[in-house]
Structure 1
Amino acid sequence: MTTASFSYHHEDQILSLRGQWTVDQYPQLLRAMLLFFRAKNADSAKQQPLQQLETSELESIDSSGASLLHYFFDHDQLTEAIQANANLSPQQQALLLTVSASLTKDAPPQPRPYRLGDGIATLGEQVIRQIKHSNSLFGFIGLTLFTFISVLLRPWRWRVTSLVYHMQHSGVHAVPIIALLTFLVGAVVAFLGATVLQDFGATIYTVDLVAYGFMRELAVLLTAILLAGRTASAYTAQIGSMKVNQEIDAMRVQGLNPIELLVIPRLIALLIMLPILTFVAMIFGILGGASVALFALDISSTQFLYIIQEIPAKHFWVGMSKAPIFAAVIAIIGCLEGFKVGKSATSVGIHTTSSVVQTIFIVILFDALAALFFMEMGW
């Protein structure tokens, strides 16, 4: 076997190939070309110019040898040199052109300098993405509402077992963590209020601060945020895993409605349980404030209860009125992101994270809008 070699003249930009440029000679040729271009003070990572390809002493060449030419020489000039070479057989010429075109197509795109319009283009892409996401969300809300009304009018299609299961896992199992969290937050709010109000001799108003805060805002907001991280993620992961395993496709093949089977029981379960959990959060948040008032502020339990009784009931209903809205947001977004999952486990994780972020953001946004609305209405 003739040893493969080459020569390259920088002045004339002529490359001469000799011997057999095959896979057996690939390591030797690669080292030789790297050493040659480095010795000539040329950047070996940069493709060299080429005007003429001399192959009169070339015995054979395969795809590995052809790839070396692509790596070291400019693609357009190499293509022209191959097409102008009369010593190459039609098979060799076709091989060189095919390998060069294939490697050029698979090469990563070269970064271009930043332009002034790139920021506007990126903003436009984000806006279009958000519009598409909003369209899919509103469409899913409409489909869920239509299915909900359809099932509600047909009691024989109610999924009672699934409903009770999701009520237990989404609601009952969340009671301990919600009770502990709101109790601690209530104690923290009472300490904070007492620290500020004692300078004005108004420590007694700490009771009102805790009661008003949990009845109107903190109880429903903390409960919704906790369920957004706990339940929305669970809904997305459950439905996403079913989609990865093609269980949802199997439901459709059997003529079953995935919205009716998977979404409606979860939605109704949260619509029932979130107001109950909100009430639990109110009770334990106020108990947390009462414990601080009793042991640190010298406010007796009798006095604490008397102040609580004087608070108008409308503040309780203001807080409770937001619970069904937050429940619908958590259930719908959690299920929608589950249906968006692709065919990989990575997609399940991505959409689970997305569902948590979206639900928390929308819950806080709706809570802020509701606070402005109730303030303007004087409620």
Structure 2
Amino acid sequence: MAGAIARDPNSFHKQASLPVSNAYDPTAELVRHGDELKATLSGQWTAARSEAVEHEAAALEDAARGAHRVLIDLARIERLDTLGAWVLDRTRHELGGRSQRADFVGAKPEHRILLDEIAYRGFQQLPPPRRSSIIDFLAQVGESVVDAGKDVVRGTSFLGEVVVALLRVIIDPRRFRVASIVHHLEMVGFRGVPIIALISFLVGCIVAQQGIFQLQRFGASTFVVNLVGILTLRELAVLLTSIMVAGRSGSAFTAEIGSMKMREEVDALRVMGLDPVEVLVLPRMIAIVVALPLLTFIAAMAALFGGGLVAWAYGGITPEVYLSRLQQTISQSPSTFMVGLIKAPFMALVIGVIASLEGLAVQGSAESLGRQVTASVVKAIFMVIVVDGLFAMFFAAINY
């Protein structure tokens, strides 16, 4: 026997809605036929009546308990907006989650379109696939290797663009941007001298102190001069300088070019017929390639000076003895001084390519800018160490 479903279980006939205070309020008339429940909706199911919409939807869910099938008739709905459609679709999914079949019937074409759009994303989440931690780890390692290969290809291609831009400038010297190069030389070289000289001085002091303490056990504290001289000139000076330039100037290059990319200034250069590589990248590359060897020399002198002070204070090695033994050490192997300076331009080239490439990879958000600046510094420092290792193996192979 057909009858109306009431919210009060002791009553058989009752309207499943709030007390009608307005003809436009949403209502749901619920009628059950055996194990089938039909809900006839009417009124305006809109955000302006969100409280009543939620109330009627909750009443529909309660009344549908025990029903095998639920038909939701939308023919009498006057207005339906996104909130109303979302609540109805959520109700249908919740009924489906209770193994009840719920269907919309009688919807107007415009209401059907809205419901279809809302239903594009279901509320029921699929169970997460079972994964193996070992497979995930191997997959991440594989992705890292592939990304590293892509970075190498991108860097090589970008270096080719820089070389082509340099050739254009050499063929037509009027395109040479002297003011930009001088500006970046000042920022990279001149303004970087204090911090690089200070750090190199402290590192030279530390190396000399530790060397003296260890060599005193063997009565060979004077060999600390050989240790400081060779280690500083061949490795420490250029390595410390390159790492500092990568963190200081490389990050600045990425941030500057990335900010221009965000503000679409790079696109504006292309519209004006200018090459961004020639205008933005080439002056920075020339400046860093010229500045890094000079900074390496200053860093080497600062480290040797710091080592000499510590050798005098802790080891009793006078400045005359220190300079004489240092000159003797370097004269025995003249290549010691040149090794660091030979490495410097190549490290500068790596830093400039990575910094500029990461800057041009910035998208339109501040998050992207921060991510690329971080990647620029990390990749540049990593590649500096890799290049230093390659040069060490190369010089050892040729006995230089």
Structures share a fold, TM > 0.5?
yes
| Aligned residues of 2:93 and 2:124 also touching (Cα < 8 A) | no
Deviations 1:204-225 (A, max 9, x none): 1222111111101000000000
Tell me the residue number matched to 2:52. 28
Tell me the residue number matched to 1:45. none
What residue identity is the alignment partner of 1:354?
A: A
Deviations 1:311-342 (A, max 9, x none): 22211111111001001011111111111122
User: How many correspondences in the alignment?
Assistant: 366
Which residues of 2 match residues 265-280 of structure 1 at below 5 A? 265-280=283-298
Tell me the residue number matched to 1:305. 323
Deviations 1:149-199 (A, max 9, x none): 332233333222211111111101100111101001111111111222222
Tell me the residue number matched to 1:113. 129
| Aligned residues of 1:232 and 1:355 also touching (Cα < 8 A) | yes
Deviations 1:221-269 (A, max 9, x none): 0000000011111111111122222222222222222212222211111
| Aligned residues of 2:188 and 2:288 also touching (Cα < 8 A) | yes
Secondary structure of the corresponding residue to residue 73 of structure 1: helix
The structure-2 alpha-carbon separation of the partners of 1:155 and 1:111, relative to structure 1 and needing over 3 Å to count, comes to: farther
Deviations 1:94-148 (A, max 9, x none): 6246424434338797562233465555454444433333222111011111221
Q: Please give the alpha-carbon distance, in whole angstroms, between the structure 2 residues aligned to 1:153 and 1:368.
A: 36
Which residues of 2 match residues 168-183 of structure 1 at below 5 A? 168-183=186-201
Q: Please give the alpha-carbon distance, in whole angstroms, between the structure 1 residues aligned to 2:206 and 2:355.
A: 31
- How far 1:280 moved relative to its partner? 0.3
Q: Please give the alpha-carbon distance, in whole angstroms, between the structure 1 residues aligned to 2:168 and 2:67.
A: 72
Structure 1 position 323 matched with structure 2 position 344 = yes
Secondary structure of the corresponding residue to residue 53 of structure 1: strand
Larger RCO of the pair (alpha carbons < 8 Å, separation 6+):
1
Tell me the residue number matched to 1:69. 88
- How far 1:18 moved relative to its partner? 4.4
| Aligned residues of 1:75 and 1:100 also touching (Cα < 8 A) | no
What residue identity is the alignment partner of 2:283?
A: P
Q: Please give the alpha-carbon distance, in whole angstroms, between the structure 1 residues aligned to 2:344 and 2:202.
A: 21
| Aligned residues of 1:4 and 1:25 also touching (Cα < 8 A) | no
Larger radius of gyration between Structure 1 and Structure 2: 2
| Aligned residues of 2:293 and 2:345 also touching (Cα < 8 A) | yes
Structure 1 position 16 matched with structure 2 position 39 = yes
Structure 1 position 4 matched with structure 2 position 22 = no
| Aligned residues of 1:50 and 1:74 also touching (Cα < 8 A) | no
Tell me the residue number matched to 2:396. 375
Which is richer in helix?
1
Deviations 1:22-60 (A, max 9, x none): 1244323425655886x89x9xxxxx9973315399554
| Aligned residues of 2:26 and 2:42 also touching (Cα < 8 A) | yes
* More deviation, 56-65/258-267: 56-65
Q: Please give the alpha-carbon distance, in whole angstroms, between the structure 2 residues aligned to 1:360 and 1:16.
A: 67
The TM-score, its normalising length taken from structure 2, stands at 0.81
Q: Please give the alpha-carbon distance, in whole angstroms, between the structure 2 residues aligned to 1:75 and 1:126.
A: 42
Secondary structure of the corresponding residue to residue 130 of structure 2: coil
